[in-house]
Amino acid sequence: MSIESVLHENRVFEPSADFVKNANVSGMAAYNQLCAEAAADYEGFWAKLARELLVWNKPFTKTLNQENAPFYKWFEDGELNVSANCLDKHLNTIPNKVAIIFEGDDGATQEVTYKDLYHRVCQFANGLKKLNLNVGDRVIIYLPMGIEAVVAMQACARIGLIHSVVFGGFSAKSLNERIIDAGAKAVITSDGQFRGGKTLPLKSAVDEGIAMGGCEVIEKVVVLKKTGLEIAWNSNNIWWHDLIANVADTCEPVMVNAEHPLFLLYTSGSTGKPKGVQHSSAGYLLHAMNTMRWTFDIHENDVFWCTADVGWITGHSYVTYGPLAMGATQIIFEGIPTYPNAGRFWQMIEKHKVSIFYTAPTAIRSLIKASETTPEVAPKNYNLSSLRLLGSVGEPINPEAWMWYFEQVGGSRCPIADTFWQTETGGHVITPLPGATPLVPGSCTLPFPGIDIDVVDETGKDVPWGTGGLLVIKKPWPSMIRTIYNDPERYKTSYYPVDLGGKIYLAGDGAIRDAKTGNFTIMGRIDDVLNVSGHRLGTMEIESALVANHLVAEAAVVGKPHDVKGESVVAYVVLKGPRPEGDEAKKIVAELREWVGKEIGPIAKPDEIRFGDNLPKTRSGKIMRRLLRTLARGEEITSDISTLDNPAILEQLKEVVK
Ligand code: WTA
């Protein structure tokens, strides 16, 4: 996205009077009032919300503990159970309300009420209890999108187990690394999965991952029979259905401390090793709920659909936890947006009368393309009148895509919540509130009430509105990351760097606030993190994967703007042997792409590979990534390259192997 196009954006869309009237946060005055309350009494603001929204078994008396900053504690003497807050709470009020409408890849649907879901979670939790798992033990979940994925996560929460969901698109090697880092005692997986009309294996990656070694702590692998695909069977495997056969379907929730880790979720950072982002129970759930209420304006009769997979943070906060805790009806979809055709999302919105729809810009951009080439699948062929609110997440949405989403999908009547947040923030931190905030295409607008987010310079000093800088959060907030599992030092250096004074959270994105309105525009990552189709990938991770290949001597990876995926991956590779050409080069490109797919997952495969006899380096041996980015974009290098040791390399690196 060009930043200029957003900064010069002067279209403003005010919420309609109707929307404002019924909104949970109604009008800008109400928004400003909430922000003022948080500014006047920060802890009081959050304490009030935590008492209002959460069901406590033992109420908290302390709100925020900053003694061991930046390891903050929220509501630390309170006790509760997250699953009880998502399910048990509703048993007396809305037992027969539909909690989940599941639509399979093949279009078949299943409905689960709150009462059904409660029993399914209890039963599976009782099953897990038979496996020698104790409060605080880690469990890896590697399942396709479906009711069972939610059941597995909720069941862990119910008995105090810490889940770590690994997205099904990650490889055996990635699983292996996560199992080892988390010290997981069990894995929950399925024989296979259905996607886009195909039946794909899943459990085989678990077998392979465990066989790679170091996973001796794994005691059991629970296997859901989903597809009937033939699988290898090991002595520590147990079928999901056998685990719950003749098991009671009620299970006392285990009360845990507010700070008890609810989950670990691995995400990419600026080194080769993914970080296990650790979240709390109470603070995390509080923000998942409150953002459902204020950002998504959730009402009793809404049908909410967040298209994210539970393998990502968006699926944690806005599939597994937020909607259930708020008693909403939600859609869970197993398939992909382009099967059987690219009208699938619109067809499902029509069929299930979805009122709130939350997806990623990359999906929107690919569906724009599809409806240009195949007009039959354009949104205008479907009845989308049930929609009242749209959301966007994961990457910047360019104004062109925003306008299309607004007009073609939302019928120019639905506000768009462009929600900025991260795995580490737990929930939205900058977003419009749909019944209050004037919308500007391409801007995520204003801070969520209570979140003290701003832009500063390299020394941590405020910059004036209209000047770009680093996005930071100045005060701790309840749903923030608590630490990086096994690596508290890295938590401190990544998010609380001393350059900025050690007391403010560094998000890792660049941002600028509009000089007049204070609206935020996100300018992209300032570190070596890429955002490919809304998936977060570290350049160093891909580089480590490449150099682990026997042919490769050296590799450097950069991102390049891509009109559908947001960014694409360009890898510069130096082989141990001579620089390949022609068919030889093509063969090695194919091999290296496959290799990265195996090392990390198909989502990380480089889109382009270029070979050089060397990489452009300074005389001190530092790779000049800035130049590599310029080359990737196909632009001429105009900057000073006099410090470059080997300028001739640049010509070679312009050549893309096709
Ligand atoms: C980017 C996803 C612009 C950003 C919830 C952030 C966004 C990273 C937006 C986190 C948005 C997310 N506008 N950029 N609305 N939302 N990002 O951890 O670079 O997978 O730092 O969390 O995605 O990605 P993550």
For 507-556, the pLDDT digits (tens) are: 999 999 999 999 999 998 998 899 999 899 999 999 999 999 999 999 99
Question: Rounded to the nearest whole angstrom, what is the distance from the C-alpha of residue 396 to the centroid of ligand 1?
Answer: 8
The bridge status of strand 186-190 relative to strand 138-142 is parallel
Q: Tokens in use for 620?
A: 């001190």
If one counts every other C-beta atom within 10 angstroms of the C-beta of residue 382, the result is: 17
Question: Rounded to the nearest whole angstrom, what is the distance from the C-alpha of residue 398 to the centroid of ligand 1?
Answer: 14
Question: Rounded to the nearest whole angstrom, what is the distance from the C-alpha of residue 395 to the centroid of ligand 1?
Answer: 5
DSSP 97-126: SEEEEEE-TTS-EEEEEHHHHHHHHHHHHH
pLDDT at 642: 80
Q: Tokens in use for 51?
A: 């008492």
Q: Which pLDDT tens digit goes with each residue over 636-657?
A: 888 888 878 888 899 999 999 8
pLDDT at 652: 93
Residue 578: which pLDDT band, with cuts at 50, 70 and 90? very high
Residue 71: which pLDDT band, with cuts at 50, 70 and 90? very high
* Residue 420 known to bind ligand: yes
Residue for token pair 């599809």: 370
Strands (E), 8-121: 64-65, 73-74, 79-80, 98-103, 109-113
* Residue 395 known to bind ligand: yes
* Residue 469 known to bind ligand: no
| Highest mean predicted confidence (pLDDT) among 263-272, 344-353, 526-535 | 344-353
Strands (E), 413-525: 416-419, 453-456, 469-473, 483-484, 505-513, 520-525
Question: Rounded to the nearest whole angstrom, what is the distance from the C-alpha of residue 509 to the centroid of ligand 1?
Answer: 9
Do residues 157 and 139 make contact, with C-beta atoms less than 8 angstroms apart? no
* Residue 178 known to bind ligand: no
d(CA 571, CA 574): 10
Residue 2: which pLDDT band, with cuts at 50, 70 and 90? low
pLDDT at 7: 67
Residue 3: which pLDDT band, with cuts at 50, 70 and 90? low
Q: Which pLDDT tens digit goes with each residue over 213-229?
A: 999 999 999 999 999 99
CATH (residue range 533-653): 3.30.300.30
**Residue 508 backbone zone (phi > 0: left; psi -120 to 50: alpha; other: beta):** left
Ligand 1: residue whose CA is nearest its atom 14: 395
Do residues 96 and 115 make contact, with C-beta atoms less than 8 angstroms apart? yes
* Residue 423 known to bind ligand: yes
Q: Which atom of ligand 1 approaches the CA of 314 most closely?
A: 5
Q: What's the average model confidence in pLDDT over 357-376?
A: 96
**Residue 151 backbone zone (phi > 0: left; psi -120 to 50: alpha; other: beta):** alpha
Q: Best substitution site from 509, 527, 539 to test ligand 1's pocket, by max atoms within 8 Å of Cβ? A: 509
Ligand 1: residue whose CA is nearest its atom 11: 420
Q: What's the average model confidence in pLDDT over 562-568?
A: 94
412 pLDDT higher than 80: yes
Question: Rounded to the nearest whole angstrom, what is the distance from the C-alpha of residue 169 to the centroid of ligand 1?
Answer: 19
- Residue, of 298 and 618, whose pLDDT is higher: 298
pLDDT at 641: 82
* Residue 418 known to bind ligand: yes
d(CA 494, CA 515): 29
Q: How far apart are the first and last CA of the chain?
A: 25
Q: Which atom of ligand 1 approaches the CA of 423 most closely?
A: 18
Q: What's the average model confidence in pLDDT over 8-37?
A: 95
* Residue 448 known to bind ligand: no
Question: Rounded to the nearest whole angstrom, what is the distance from the C-alpha of residue 531 to the centroid of ligand 1?
Answer: 8
Q: Which pLDDT tens digit goes with each residue over 88-99?
A: 999 999 999 999
Ligand 1 pocket (Cβ < 6 Å) reads: 267, 312-314, 393-396, 418-423, 444, 507-509, 522, 525, 531, 536
Give the C-alpha distances (Å, rounded to integers) separating 230 from 145, 191, 201, 202, 598. 20, 7, 9, 11, 21
* Residue 307 known to bind ligand: no
Q: Which pLDDT tens digit goes with each residue over 155-174?
A: 999 999 999 999 999 999 99
> Which contiguous run of DSSP H or E holds residue 257?
strand 256-257
142: Cβ–Cβ under 8 A, 6 or more apart, which residues? 165, 166, 168, 175, 187, 188, 189, 202, 205, 206
Angle at 656 between CA 653 and CA 657, to 5 degrees: 120
CB neighbour burial string for 299-321, b if at least 16 within 10 angstroms, e if fewer: beebbbbbbbbbbbbbbbbbbbb
Q: Which atom of ligand 1 approaches the CA of 536 most closely?
A: 20
Residue for token pair 């009368």: 353
Residue for token pair 């296997």: 223
Q: Best substitution site from 418, 420, 526 to test ligand 1's pocket, by max atoms within 8 Å of Cβ? A: 420
Q: Is the dihedral of CA 46, 49, 55, 58 positive or negative?
A: positive
Q: Name the CATH topology of 17-509.
A: Rossmann fold (3.40.50)
Q: What is the ipTM of this complex?
A: 1.00
1 pLDDT higher than 60: no
Judge whether 17-509 and 533-653 match in fold: no
4 pLDDT higher than 80: no
> Of all residues in the chain, what percent carry a pLDDT higher than 90?
93
Domain ranges of the chain: 17-509, 533-653
| Total-model pTM | 0.95
Ligand 1: residue whose CA is nearest its atom 10: 422
Rg (CA), the chain: 24
Helical axes 42-53 vs 28-40, angle rounded to 10°? 110
pLDDT at 5: 66
Angle at 67 between CA 63 and CA 70, to 5 degrees: 95
Give which of 610, 520, 551, 503 is closest to 72, Cα–Cα. 503
pLDDT at 183: 98
Q: Which pLDDT tens digit goes with each residue over 603-628?
A: 999 999 999 999 998 887 888 888 99
285 pLDDT higher than 60: yes
If one counts every other C-beta atom within 10 angstroms of the C-beta of residue 136, the result is: 11
* CA 96 to mean position of chain CA atoms: 30
d(CA 374, CA 372): 6
What proportions of the chain, in percent to the nearest 5, are helix, strand and coil? 35, 25, 45
* Mean pLDDT for all residues in the chain: 96
Q: Tokens in use for 233?
A: 């069977």
